Structure 1
Amino acid sequence: MGNFVNFALLAAIAAKFTVSWAALNGHCPPLGPVLPPPVSASSSPAVAASVAAFQQLMDQFTAQYNHSAVAIGLKSIHEDDYLVEYAFTPPNRDSRGAQKVDSNTVFRIASVSKIFTVLAILKLHDVRLDDPVTKYVPELLALSNEARENSAIWTVAWDEVTLGALASHLAGVGVDMMTDYTPFGDFTPYGFPPVNESRLLGCSGFFGTLECNRTVFFERFGERAPVQLPFSPNAVYSNAAFAILGFAVEAVTNRSFNEFIKTEIWKPLNMTSTFATKPDDALGFIPTDDIWWNATLGYGDPAGSAYSTVHDMTRFGEAILRHELGLSASQTRKWLKPWSQTSSSGTLVGAPWEIYRVRNATADGRLIELYTKAGDLITYHSVFALIPDYDLVATVMVTGELKANEARGIDATVFLSKLVETVLPGVEQAGRDEADVAYGGTYRDEATNSSLTLSQDDGPGFSIESWIVRGVDVIATWLGLSLIPSPVPPTSNPLKFRLYPTTVRTNNQTSWRSVSQTGPPEYIEKLESLLLPPETMCITWGQLDRATYMLQAQDHMVFTLDEQGRATTVELVGYAVTLARQQTPAQEAK
């Protein structure tokens, strides 16, 4: 009940005023889709224009590349063809590899591989992310014998580390061993002490050195001190954590990690151009004289060894959003959730997602989330992204000659940013147009003198232009509605209402919720200046389903759809009335 009082108080204060949220164009929609994702975005003129703009932008950018290749794909799960399919082949390239780049060209995807590792754990249905890792890899407990001393400073508390902590970079364990300097030369000029030859690691897998295997890991990783305690506030990125998850998969399945992901993940999805080890050179793009195409990771395979293509990663992303991975829809939604924060207000951490929260990608300036995973292996850079609000999958792959100083890891992230920034507004407009046809217009029930009019404007979701139930103007009389009835005359300056879809639906019905706007700019600005957290008054998440009548929510509306997916009726659940669709926006325009 405490939350009810708090939110009711905030809503009551804000309800005395008309609206505006400058940062959100006067709106505070729920996090998530504000309209159904478009199913025919490729036929939209807005999408065609935005795609052309992005391709022109990429042509300008890659014009500077002489040694670096690029492959990019953006696809809706509702269509067969890509919305964006871009590839660039540089004039200079290694003769060992592919001589023309396209969506089927193999690149190293480095740490994007971590997605497969987490999925492997999730597919072990008798295994729980809350299980301690020592349940499956008890050898970790012996690592304390290698520590400088048995104390919290020098020894990881392995019995407190869970599989979920490892998957979400919350275990606090060291990043890796493979990037240790000692196998690669004399570093005393940089201030380091002379190498103790008896403790020389002697392996890496890079620059022609031997790879570090599992035996070496359990012999030496105990020398690494913990970085944080498990589940500390800040995530600590760790490749070693994913190697350990691979050990857990092997222990549970009695199969090699690479064999498990090949047969249980890639094969069912027909990802025939995805590999755990180096494929035939002719399949991949190789920068001139590149040595990283061949580099091996040894025990670190689960952290970043995979090779793949734009086409295969797109197929994988579609399978996630379509729930085709052997996980239920609920399990998939749970997977696409943050576990921790970072020092960046725009970045959260999932398992193993890097979740970017942005406000500058949509026309209405609302918050959306990109579920991404980036990968970098010196000359190979990639970013895989899901945009669940629009059912989109994006993949960016870049590689180039290191000495040419062209393609960098940042470029892959920049290309993803420009892809979303340029093309998403077109997709958003396509969604608006489709939603208008499917849901917009006027609904009416003459017997009860009730009606509802939904229209599109520059805001998220639908604007509720008119809402009459049994002859009562719901919007105009809203300020008098409370647990203690106190009828007030209709106001000449009423609140504004919007309507948003939820994730709840059946084959022929969809569930939506209405939201009232709160507060004028000057009032909100003044109140926000007194509060530490930004946008505290954006409290939609606490307003949904508040008011009920005979236990049915006042804000709840359920549409019934025909075979074409177009609404025929809407039930105003809390008011116990069903309205038939009378006019579409096109009919009203006439």
Structure 2
Amino acid sequence: MNLKSVLGSALPALSTAARCPPTGAVLPSPDLPDNYEPAGLRVNIDNLLEHASPTWNVSTTSFSVELTSINASFFEYHHTAATRSEHGVREVDTNTVYRIASITKVFNVLALLLNAPLALDTSITQYVPELEGREEYVEITLRMLASQVAGIPREVSAFDWYSERGLQLQELGFPAPDPQDVPTCDIVPDGACSRSQLFDDLLADQFSWLPGQRAGYSNPAYTLLGYAIENITGKTFEDILQDDILGPLNLTSTSLSPPDPSEAIIPVGAGEVLIGFDIGTYNATAGMFSTPRDITAFLRSILRNDLLSPIRTRQWLKPTVYAGGLTADIGMPWEIYRLSHLTPDGRPIEVYTKSGGIPGYSSMALLLPEYDMAASILVSFEAGSDPSVDLTDIVLASLIPSLDSLSREQAEKAYAGLYLDAGHGTNGANTTDATLSLVIDDGPGLKITEWTNYGKSILDVLAGDKNTTVEGLDARLYPIGDKNRWRMVVEKLVSENEDSSLPGGMCMAWFRVDQMRYASLSFEEFHFQMDGGVVMGVENRGMRQRLTKRT
């Protein structure tokens, strides 16, 4: 199962549509009712277990799925493998310890943002003595390392094909290597490479891509970031995590140290060794252990801006480079997907993720900033493929439509309706025959179906400005995210068949934001008036209107 197949027939495409809503939230994030569960999610996970892919074994696979709002967790699903190590937990739950592998990279970047945000565009050679004097590294910055565009090799010694199955490959035509080329460390269970061994191998290697050229996943890139943060702070990476993130957020079950086996889920196979294996130089890139409870609490802290300011959090949750294809980007260290056709309007929904994988374990952290929601998916398994991708697809395909429907219902109840002249404008002048009608339809945001002032249609004016008719116009309000301020975006409806792959068909709504002003004041901006959480009216300063919501 994959997201493409799940969503292929989810919603029909619109024949005409407003193609260019702003990125991010188009309505306020929903308030979850008591005992809320995304429609069909639990049943769909049940079905996944019942009809599991032949590439993974239900009897040797355990997993935990936990969803959280900005306030608290609201959904859990745990499956315990029938066959597992006897040294681990008997049954997985929200407090079970898993290896989270590369979710560690999110903690790494956050530590950098907390301790040295102004160092992002400085050279790595300033912070890692082994790179001093290496001309090829001088222009590689901390931001490039965090964004996976530094060109650092994917691995150095770890996961070498010869170490894993060299004799088998030679029988299939691979050559016998020179003994001096065979890795001597980062081999389970022999031991991890030392720092000096890492740099001996790294500096003898070549860049995978030219620095700054394109994205290429690298674990050693985050090892270098870890060394840089240690140099900047004068503390060990473990102490940085504890002092700046784990302690303040009370993540008591998260660490770089192997857990008591009785608190962890331990699969048969490679995971039995990896659960207690010190991965050495890989600790800053993939070394952490955690629980579903702690990971969802950590993700919740990002949504709540607990450690970073709202501005810095918003900037962090942005792409920095293309990943290839039309719907995926890379951030620091986010793997970002823009998923379409999950909602009636077909707009792309941004999902910020970080996946992780190490023999015996896989993980996925998910952030949906538009809805103030997050999820953690932690898996332990024996060998072969694991269900983390299938579980991610199921979670998103169930959660996003459910949240979108809920936000529409709540926005319709709160904001939709007819707003009438309250008897005076913002400057005290009479504004007879002023009206505003807002509805929730299948499109994004709040649609303006009627807007008059002095008995004249403002939509007629906007349509004329777009060289179209009122029927061919789409005027909608979108939340700014600052108190109760909303902004109008006006578009000309287009055919679904219009080519948007050429510059003439590109979305330009972002270019025209705040362009419509009248006598110094924007008439794109609408400020809803609230009393006890109830919408009482709306003000438009540019039109000098103050309207009352009819009940």
TM-score (structure 1 length as normaliser)? 0.83
Give the AA of the match of 1:66. Answer: S
Q: Give the match for residue 91 of structure 1.
A: 82
How far has the Cα of 1:25 moved from its partner?
4.8
CA gap of 1:457–1:260, structure 2 versus 1, over 3 A, is same
**Residues 308-330 of structure 1: CA deviation (Å, up to 9, x unaligned):** 111111000010010001x2111
Give the AA of the match of 1:398. Answer: V
Q: Give the match for residue 451 of structure 2.
A: 467
Q: Percent identity?
A: 32
Alpha-carbon separation, structure 2, partners of 1:85 and 1:431: 22
How far has the Cα of 1:190 moved from its partner?
5.2
How many correspondences in the alignment?
A: 524
What value does the CA root-mean-square deviation take over the aligned residues?
2.5
Match of 2:435 among 451, 462, 485: 451
Q: Give the match for residue 8 of structure 2.
A: none
1:272 aligns with 2:272: no
Q: Give the match for residue 312 of structure 2.
A: 331
Q: Give the match for residue 261 of structure 1.
A: 241
1:167 aligns with 2:146: yes
How far has the Cα of 1:198 moved from its partner?
4.6
- Does the residue aligned with 1:475 lie in a helix, a strand or coil? helix
Give the AA of the match of 1:77. Answer: I
Q: Give the match for residue 49 of structure 1.
A: 39
How far has the Cα of 1:59 moved from its partner?
4.6
How far has the Cα of 1:277 moved from its partner?
2.3
Give the AA of the match of 1:544. Answer: V
1:240 aligns with 2:220: yes
Q: Is the 8 A contact 1:313 1:395 kept in 2?
A: yes
Q: Is the 8 A contact 1:380 1:398 kept in 2?
A: yes
Alpha-carbon separation, structure 1, partners of 2:519 and 2:398: 47
- Does the residue aligned with 1:294 lie in a helix, a strand or coil? coil
Alpha-carbon separation, structure 1, partners of 2:391 and 2:207: 35
Moved more, 258-267 or 306-315: 258-267
1:321 aligns with 2:303: yes
Q: Give the match for residue 65 of structure 2.
A: 72
Q: Give the match for residue 512 of structure 1.
A: 486
Alpha-carbon separation, structure 2, partners of 1:140 and 1:94: 43
Match of 1:60 among 50, 64, 80: 50
How far has the Cα of 1:306 moved from its partner?
0.7
- Kindly report which structure 2 residues correspond to 1:139-178, keeping only aligned pairs within 5 A, or say none: 139-141=130-132, 157-177=136-156, 178=158
Give the AA of the match of 1:567. Answer: V
Match of 1:551 among 520, 535, 538: 520
- Does the residue aligned with 1:384 lie in a helix, a strand or coil? strand
Q: Is the 8 A contact 2:17 2:493 kept in 1?
A: no
How far has the Cα of 1:224 moved from its partner?
1.0
Q: Is the 8 A contact 2:66 2:73 kept in 1?
A: no
Q: Give the match for residue 4 of structure 1.
A: none
Q: Is the 8 A contact 1:381 1:398 kept in 2?
A: yes
Moved more, 537-546 or 250-259: 537-546
Alpha-carbon separation, structure 1, partners of 2:80 and 2:549: 53
Q: Give the match for residue 464 of structure 2.
A: 480
Match of 2:406 among 430, 447, 454: 430
CA gap of 1:122–1:61, structure 2 versus 1, over 3 A, is farther
1:341 aligns with 2:312: no
Q: Is the 8 A contact 2:192 2:279 kept in 1?
A: yes
How far has the Cα of 1:281 moved from its partner?
0.7
Give the AA of the match of 1:76. Answer: S
Alpha-carbon separation, structure 2, partners of 1:310 and 1:135: 37
Alpha-carbon separation, structure 2, partners of 1:199 and 1:27: 55
**Residues 118-165 of structure 1: CA deviation (Å, up to 9, x unaligned):** 1111111464211111111132135x5xxxxxxxxxxx7210000000
Q: Is the 8 A contact 1:183 1:203 kept in 2?
A: no
Any stretches of 5+ residues in structure 2 without a counterpart?
A: 1-11, 424-430
Alpha-carbon separation, structure 2, partners of 1:573 and 1:49: 41
How far has the Cα of 1:104 moved from its partner?
1.4
Q: Give the match for residue 39 of structure 1.
A: 31
Q: Give the match for residue 476 of structure 2.
A: 498
Any stretches of 5+ residues in structure 1 without a counterpart?
A: 1-19, 145-155, 483-487, 584-590
Give the AA of the match of 1:514. Answer: M
Q: Give the match for residue 203 of structure 2.
A: 222
Match of 1:561 among 530, 533, 538: 530
Alpha-carbon separation, structure 1, partners of 2:18 and 2:546: 30
Alpha-carbon separation, structure 1, partners of 2:510 and 2:34: 33
Give the AA of the match of 2:419. Answer: Y
1:577 aligns with 2:545: yes
Match of 2:286 among 304, 307, 310: 304
Q: Is the 8 A contact 1:75 1:314 kept in 2?
A: yes
Q: Is the 8 A contact 1:50 1:426 kept in 2?
A: no
Q: Is the 8 A contact 1:62 1:88 kept in 2?
A: no
CA gap of 1:197–1:60, structure 2 versus 1, over 3 A, is closer
Give the AA of the match of 2:140. Answer: V
- Kindly report which structure 2 residues correspond to 1:411-422, keeping only aligned pairs within 5 A, or say none: 411-422=387-398
Q: Is the 8 A contact 1:140 1:158 kept in 2?
A: yes
How far has the Cα of 1:209 moved from its partner?
1.1
- Does the residue aligned with 1:251 lie in a helix, a strand or coil? helix
Q: Give the match for residue 22 of structure 1.
A: 14
Q: Give the match for residue 184 of structure 2.
A: 202
1:525 aligns with 2:497: yes
- Does the residue aligned with 1:525 lie in a helix, a strand or coil? coil
- Does the residue aligned with 1:385 lie in a helix, a strand or coil? strand
TM-score (structure 2 length as normaliser)? 0.89
How far has the Cα of 1:208 moved from its partner?
1.0
How far has the Cα of 1:365 moved from its partner?
1.3
Q: Is the 8 A contact 2:422 2:546 kept in 1?
A: no
Alpha-carbon separation, structure 2, partners of 1:493 and 1:39: 34
Q: Is the 8 A contact 1:243 1:303 kept in 2?
A: yes
- Does the residue aligned with 2:119 lie in a helix, a strand or coil? coil
- Does the residue aligned with 2:109 lie in a helix, a strand or coil? helix
Give the AA of the match of 1:318. Answer: R
Q: Is the 8 A contact 1:323 1:332 kept in 2?
A: yes
- Does the residue aligned with 1:476 lie in a helix, a strand or coil? helix
Q: Give the match for residue 108 of structure 1.
A: 99
How far has the Cα of 1:216 moved from its partner?
1.2
